[in-house]
Amino acid sequence: MTSLGVVFRPQLPPERLRNAVRAADDSGLEELWLWEDCFLEGGISTAAAALAWSERVRVGVGVLPVPLRNVAVTAMEIATLERLFPGRGIWGVGHGVQDWMGQVGARAASPLTLLREYLDALRGLLRGDRLTVKGRYVRLDDVGLDWPPAAAPPMLAAATGPRTLQLVGAAADGVILTSSTPADGIREASRIVAAARPESVTGQPFPIVVYLLAATGPRAADRVAAELRAQGRDAIAGIGVAGDAHAIADAVTRWSEAGATSVILEPTADEPDPEGFIRFVADRVRPLVP
């Protein structure tokens, strides 16, 4: 079964998060996702609040930019939340938007090298390993977590181009694709990560999370089209959906058939009722998705 979720977009002020979390938890939504986009809201801080304000909804962070975060700190924070709220977090990392990384003096000369070193170290720390690492970017001297999680959570990573997809297939436990990814792109990404996976894990589940821009209600099509134009994505065919529950469910089903295991609906930045959109997805779209 395809998991269905909604993004709480960080263009909304942090004080709106609690109502969104309550709407997600009360309505039965499966996943509520948070973004750590520069320079909006922190991914770990919002995830901690969302987990504390809810009882059952899973909370995804997609994604934490690795140039901004020492890997030991990220491991400590994820481990803490996994012990407080076991199995309810979904954790993603990525090499970040390079212009943003440059703004804070954290741009890496080789983002792929950094991401590979980071994933290896982060997964090891969360398994409870004690590590000494002398990489190009990641350096650890006899570091281990005193409070590792009871079970190491899967670590997902964001990817777009083929080289990053290959790296994620080889070094991560799942992939997160942007809402610029049409159905054919999902199929191609699925093929690349599957080919890159180590033989030792072939056949094990590999989550493929995909964001899908969506809107319903008055001027839904205009709002989706305007956002795609503003982001320079209007030339990409087949991304974004506007309409009623059936139209959005049909798009989710197409994404699922292309290989997505989780489809996370991304409301437009000008969505007039974010909490209402969450309830709409849970109450009206979810029953229509296989």
Residue 204 has what pLDDT? 84
Residue 208 has what pLDDT? 98
Structure tokens at 218: 């008055």
Residue 245 has what pLDDT? 98
Number of domains in the chain: 1
Report mean pLDDT in 10-residue bins for the chain, 290 residues: 94 97 98 96 98 98 97 98 98 96 97 98 98 98 98 97 97 97 97 93 89 97 96 92 98 97 97 97 96
Distance of alpha carbon 115 from alpha carbon 111, whole angstroms: 6
Which domain range does residue 72 map to?
Answer: 3-288
Distance of alpha carbon 94 from alpha carbon 113, whole angstroms: 12
The domain spanning residue 70 has which CATH number?
A: 3.20.20.30
Structure tokens at 206: 């590999």
Distance of alpha carbon 58 from alpha carbon 32, whole angstroms: 6
Residue 199 has what pLDDT? 84
| Residue spans of alpha helices (H) in the chain | 17-27, 43-53, 71-84, 98-103, 111-126, 162-171, 183-196, 220-230, 245-258, 274-280
Distance of alpha carbon 231 from alpha carbon 2, whole angstroms: 28
Note the pTM of the prediction, 2 decimals.
0.96
